[in-house]
Amino acid sequence: MGETIQKMQKLRLECETEIPIQLHRATSALTSFRNSFYFIKLKSEKTSQNQEKLGQLKTRSRELEDELVKALAVKTDKEAKRMDLNDSVLAAKGRIEELKRIVQIKTAKEEEYGAIISRQLMAIEAQEEKVKKHTDHKESTEDAISWYNKVLGFRIEGGRGVKFIFNNINTEHPHEEYSFIVRHEDNIYTLLDCHPFVEDTKELVQELNRTNGLFKFVRIMREKFQAAVSIGYPDQATSVHPESATVSISAPTSSVSANGSESRNEQNQQPGALEIRNKKVKRVGVEKSQILSPASASSHRRSPRLLASNRAKNN
C-alpha cells in the first residue's frame, strides 16, 4: 500500500513536472499551428490572387494570340502586296526599257525620215527648178516657133509624106509658098516633090541618108529656095530633078515617120523619086525650133528678145 502511494506520488510529481512541459509544447504547437494557418491562409489568398491573375493573363494571352494571328494575316497580306508590287515594279522597269528602245528606234527613224524628207525636199526644189527652166524653155521655144512661123513663114503638113512649106522667101511676094515633100519608109528617105525645083537635091538626099541630118537638110533646102529667088529662078511646078534615081546607102536609122496614107506602089509611081535605103533606124525628134538654124535666117529674121526689146522701145 505504501509502495503504491509512493508510486502515485512519484507519478504525481512526474505528471506535475510533465504538465508544464506538455503545456508549453501544446502552446508552442498551437502557436506554430496558428502561424502555419496564417501562412497557409496568406498562401491561399495569394494563390487565389495568382489564379485570378493567371486567368487574366490567360485571357490577355488569348487576346494577344488573336492579335498575333491578325498581325500575321496582315503581315502575310502585306508581304503578298509587296511581292505583287515588286513584280509590278519589275514589269514597269521592263516596260520602261522597252519604251526607251522604242523611243530610240523611233528617234532613229525620225532622223532617217527627216533626212529622207530633206533629200526629197531638195529633189523637189531641184525638180521645181528644172520644171521652171523647162517652162521658161518651153515658153522661149513657143516664142521661137511663133517667130519662125510669123517671120520665116515655116509650117509642116502631113499627108503622102511630110510637107515642109516656107513663105517670106521672096521679098516681093512674101506670101508665095516654097515647099518640098519628104517621105521616110522602110529605112528610105524619098524626096517626093520640090516646088520650085532646085539643084543638087540628089546629093542632098544622099547626105541626108548618110548623116540622118533632117534638120540640116531642111535648112539647106530653104537656103536653096532663097538662092533660087535671088538669082531669078522662074517658078516651076515640077518637083524633082530629072536625074533623080534610087540610091542604096547605109545610113543612121530614124524613127521619124514621114509616111502618108498611100501605099508603096504610089511611091514607085512618083517619077524621078529619090529612094535611099537605110539599114538602121535612129530616133529623131522633129522640133520646129531646131529645123532652121540662125545661119539660115533671112535678112528679115530677128530674135524674139530683140523683137520684144524693139516693141518695148516703140511703146
pLDDT tens-place string over residues 226-253: 888 888 754 443 444 433 333 333 344 4
Please give the pLDDT value at position 287: 38
Higher pLDDT, 301 or 109: 109
283: three-class secondary structure by DSSP:
coil
Query: Please, which pLDDT band fits residue 293 given cuts at 50, 70 and 90?
Result: very low
pLDDT at 304 over 50: no
Rounded CA Rg of the chain: 69
**Vertex 134, ends 257 and 216: CA angle to 5°?**
40
Between 292 and 34, where is the model more confident? 34
The least confident of 42-46, 162-166, 265-269 is 265-269
- pLDDT of 267 reads 36
The pLDDT assigned to 167 comes to 85
- The x, y and z cell numbers of residue 91, run together, are 514589269
Give residue-wise pLDDT tens across range 122-149.
999 999 998 988 888 778 767 766 776 7
| CATH number for the domain whose boundaries are 153-231 | 3.30.457.50
Does 29 score more than 90 pLDDT? no
Q: What is residue 259's predicted lDDT score, i.e. its pLDDT?
A: 41
Q: Is the pLDDT of residue 154 over 60?
A: yes
**Model confidence at 1, in pLDDT bands (50, 70, 90)?**
low
- Measured between its terminal Cα atoms, the distance across the chain in Å is 204
Three cell numbers, residue 151: 517671120
Max mean pLDDT range (81-90, 172-181, 206-215, 259-268): 81-90
CA atoms in the 13 A half-sphere facing the CB of 202: 10
Residue 310's pLDDT is 46
The x, y and z cell numbers of residue 79, run together, are: 508581304
Residue 24, SS3? helix
At 190, phi and psi to the nearest 5?
-130, 130
Nine-digit cell at 254? 530614124
